[in-house]
Structure 1
């Protein structure tokens, strides 16, 4: 690994284990086993380092999400949406890219947060356009809320470092087959009354 990659890997591991609030130039340098001044030498700021982590974790997910288009069969669209949520984090064994992106979207500031939020906002419009014909009983707001609910289920409860909890039958809550059935049920349910 190059020094830049070691710093990115260290920052990602800190993000997965402790979140954005656990990050500092010193902590990233210490975790990488290098002089912390190398963080600013290679990236200038923590914000730039986080933006690069966002790009590296967005790329594999969006490569698969870009296939989703209106007119697709429901299960194909849902699977193409759900399965990439289990994509491993770019550098952190046992971590997931979705956890890194969620942490950046929820708690980062500046460019990293904007990068993740813009990418997700653009994609979710296409996802809603793809799914809405299958669920015409849901208005745009409720479809959006249900998609967030399903995403939260795929993300899983904290701590998010060592996989999802298991069901009594041994399947993990983030098992794609379970998530697909869960998503279908969550979307097919009756529309909420105001």
Structure 2
């Protein structure tokens, strides 16, 4: 598969993302990546240095933008709707759903995320924690101010449940499919509203 309109680096990332989504990280070789991207192995070594770095960069090119959008939306929510939980949850949910519906590989990246959950890759998990762990911590702090009765452990449990439900919604393989005549944007908005309403009730439920 040739992608001549992309830069060499983007072609490698695009090919790697598709292969990681299809086969996983361990089962994908650099030779397969170079074949799909129509480049030689020297190009991979030049741009990334190693397969581990390539894996990290596949995440970075999506996660950097999504994380910044989440934080920008969070800061806006805190300024415009202080003390309200649902705008905070919307800041977490909506950028992720938008990224999942990105026609330029968003669906493949969701499968890559699923691979990261399923495969044991300590290096990748450390990279994600080091680079993006501050984002859920910022949200945890904001949510805690809205539900001060929750202890830290219970709060983090519920934030993990939110992340799991969101990943499932992003994958779009649940019971609810986009009805005929409904645009992708409208379907995404309905999904976001339903998830936010559901998770808000979960955060506000009494801890036992």
Q: TM-score, normalised by structure 1?
A: 0.79
Instruction: Report whether the alignment pairs 1:167 with 2:180.
Output: no
Counting only pairs closer than 5 Å after superposition, residues 44-55 of structure 1 correspond to structure 2 as: 44-55=49-60
Bigger shift: residues 148-157 or 64-73:
64-73
Bigger shift: residues 72-81 or 113-122:
113-122
In 2, distance between residues paired with 1:62 and 1:29?
29
**Which of these residues, 86, 93, 98, is aligned with residue 82 of structure 1?**
93
CA RMSD of aligned residues (A): 3.0
Unmatched runs of 5 consecutive residues or more in structure 1? none
Bigger shift: residues 146-155 or 174-183:
174-183
**Which of these residues, 119, 127, 139, is aligned with residue 127 of structure 1?**
139
- 1:188 maps to what in 2? 204
- 1:94 maps to what in 2? 107
Unmatched runs of 5 consecutive residues or more in structure 2? 1-5, 180-186
**Count of residue correspondences:** 186
Counting only pairs closer than 5 Å after superposition, residues 29-44 of structure 1 correspond to structure 2 as: 29-44=34-49
Q: TM-score, normalised by structure 2?
A: 0.74
